[in-house]
Amino acid sequence: LFYFQLRAIIRNRTGIEDWILEKANFRRRNSDEKFVFPYDLGPWKNFFQVFNFSCHPIGDGVSWPVVKNCDQYTITREQLQQKNEKRLKAKIYSIVKPASGYWFPFKHGFKV
């Protein structure tokens, strides 16, 4: 557990942000463009944002330092683009037979 917490601090990313970053890189896999995570200031700066000698939190809790060419809404825009792509790939299905919602609805066969 300590390892994962320390890794999150050094990378300055939560588990959810890891997932967003993974999807962002996957979206750009066939492109030369690379997604830059806006809050990764480098291991030492990331570490000292959490652990400092004043024992007071750094910042106001609303806005955070970001890397060059990024802003506070870089991840938000990326998430909106990911959601839009997901929406474009969605398929509409028609319900042809009612189902009870049981855990194993074998009534309609095993391939359903």
The full set of domain ranges for the chain reads 2-108
Give Dmax (Cα) for the chain: 65
Alpha helices in the chain (DSSP H): 2-11, 15-27, 43-50, 74-89
Token pair belonging to 108: 């309609």
Helix (H, G, I), strand (E, B) or coil at 21: helix
Closest CA to 87 of 79, 75, 95: 79
Segment 49-101, tens digit of pLDDT:
888 888 887 888 888 899 999 999 999 999 999 999 999 999 998 888 777 76
Rounded Cα distance, 43 and 82, in Å = 27
User: Which of 5-19, 34-48, 88-102 has the lowest average pLDDT?
Assistant: 88-102
